[in-house]
Amino acid sequence: MTTFDDLVEAQDELDAIVIDVLGSILGEEAAPAHLDLPDGQVATARLAIHDEGDDTFAVVEVRVGIALARVMAGRMMFVADPEDDDVLDAVAELGNICGGNVKSLLCQHARLSLPSAEIGSGLPALSGASVRVRAVVLGHLVELAVTPGAPIEGLDWPPAAVDEELERQT
Amino acid sequence: MKILVVDDSKAMRMIVVRTLRQAGFSGHDVVEAENGKEGLDLTQSIKPGLVLSDWNMPEMTGIEFLRALRGSGDSTPFCFVTSEGSDEMRTTAEAAGALGLIAKPFTEDAFRDVLGSVVPS
C-alpha cells in the first residue's frame, strides 16, 4: 500500500484544487467538467512527486488547450499577445501550483520536481492508472491528471534534492 | 522600501508584484531574481527590506537561500510564496527564520495578514 494508491478517493479534492487554482489565476469562475479535451494544440505542464516515505513517484500533468493557455499567459503577464515562452512559463507555473497542492494533499514527506512545459498537437495517452479531473473555465477545458508510477525521465529536481538522490545512490 | 521577489517563473513574479499592489503595499521599489543564488547575491548587494521567495527553484532553493542568509548573519525579513503549504514546510520555514509562508494560490488578504507588520502601506 503506497501513498498514491488511494488517489481515486481523493478525486473530489483534486477537483477542488484545479478549480481553486484556475479561479485564482484567471479571476474567473471554474466548474467541474466531464468532457474530454478537444483535439488540437495543447500546452502541457508535467512534474513529479516523490514520496520519500515509501520511495514511490507520481507524475502530475496539467493540460490546457492552446487558446486558453494564451489567455492565461496574457492575464498572468499583462500582455495582449504572449510569446510561446510566456505561454510555457505560465502553464509550467499552473502545473507547479497544482502539483504543490496535490503534494500537500497526498503526502507530507515528499519532494516536488521542477515543472516542465511543452506545446504540441495530439495528446500522449495517459496510463490506465491515471486519475483525471477536468474543469471548464471561460468555456475551455483544463485537465489535471495524477499518474502513480509514471516515468519521470526528463524532469529536473531542485538542487538539494539532487544531492539527496546522489547520496542515496552511493 | 526595496522588496526582492525571487521566483523562477516570470509569470509568478508578475503576479506577486501585482498582489503586493492590490494588498495596499504600493510605491515600493521591487527587484526580481530567478533563483535562490541570484536572490542571495542581490540581497547582499541591494539590502532589501523584505524578501519574498519561492521554495522550489533551480540553482538554489528558497530554503537554502534563507539558511545561507541567516548563516551570514543577515536578518532581512523573509517570506516564502510557494505552491506547497504543508505543516511540515511551514515548520521548516519558521525554524529557518522565515517570517511566514504564503501558499499559492493566494489572495491579497494573505499578503496583508503575513506582511502587514513589516511592509509600510
Domains in chain B with CATH codes: 2-115 (3.40.50.2300)
Residue A161 has pLDDT above 50, yes or no: no
State the Cα angle at A166 between A163 and A170, rounded to 5°: 140
A166 pLDDT tier (thresholds 50, 70, 90): very low
pLDDT, chain B, mean: 96
Q: Give A70-77 contacts, CB < 8 A, sequence gap 24+.
A: A71/A26, A71/A138, A71/A140, A72/A25, A72/A26, A73/B11, A75/A25, A75/A26, A75/A27, A76/A25, A76/B11, A76/B12, A76/B14, A76/B15, A77/B10, A77/B11, A77/B14
- What total number of domains does chain A contain? 1
* Owning domain of residue A115: 3-169
Mean pLDDT over residues B79-108, rounded? Answer: 95
pLDDT classification of B2: cutoffs 50, 70, 90: very high
- Name the 3-class secondary structure at B29: strand
Is the CB of B58 less than 8 angstroms away from the CB of A158? yes
pTM over 0.90: yes
pLDDT higher than threshold 90 for residue A17: yes
Q: Is residue A58 within a helix (H) or strand (E), and if so which, with residue range?
A: strand A56-65
Asked whether residue A20 carries a pLDDT value surpassing 80, the answer given is yes
Q: Are B98 and B64 in contact (CB under 8 A)?
A: no
ipTM: 0.93
Q: What is the pLDDT of residue B120?
A: 87
Q: Do B86 and A104 touch (CB under 8 A)?
A: yes
Specify the range with the lowest mean pLDDT, choosing from A21-25, A35-39, B37-41, B56-60.
A35-39
Q: Which residues between 58 and 117 in chain A have a beta carbon less than 8 angstroms from any beta carbon of chain B? A: 73, 76-78, 86, 89-90, 92-93, 96-101, 103-104, 108-109, 112, 114
Partner-chain contact A77 B105, CB within 8 Å? no
Q: Which residues of A touch B88 (CB under 8 A)?
A: 108-109
For the segment A49-55, the average pLDDT, to the nearest whole number, is 91
CA dist A123 and A20 (Å) reads: 24
Band (A31; pLDDT cuts 50, 70, 90): very high
Mean pLDDT (whole number) for B12-39? 96
Q: How far is CA A103 from CA A106, A136, B70, B85, in A?
A: 5, 23, 28, 9
Judge: A114–B8 Cβ closer than 8 Å, yes or no: yes
In chain A, the residue whose alpha carbon lies closest to the alpha carbon of B63 is A160
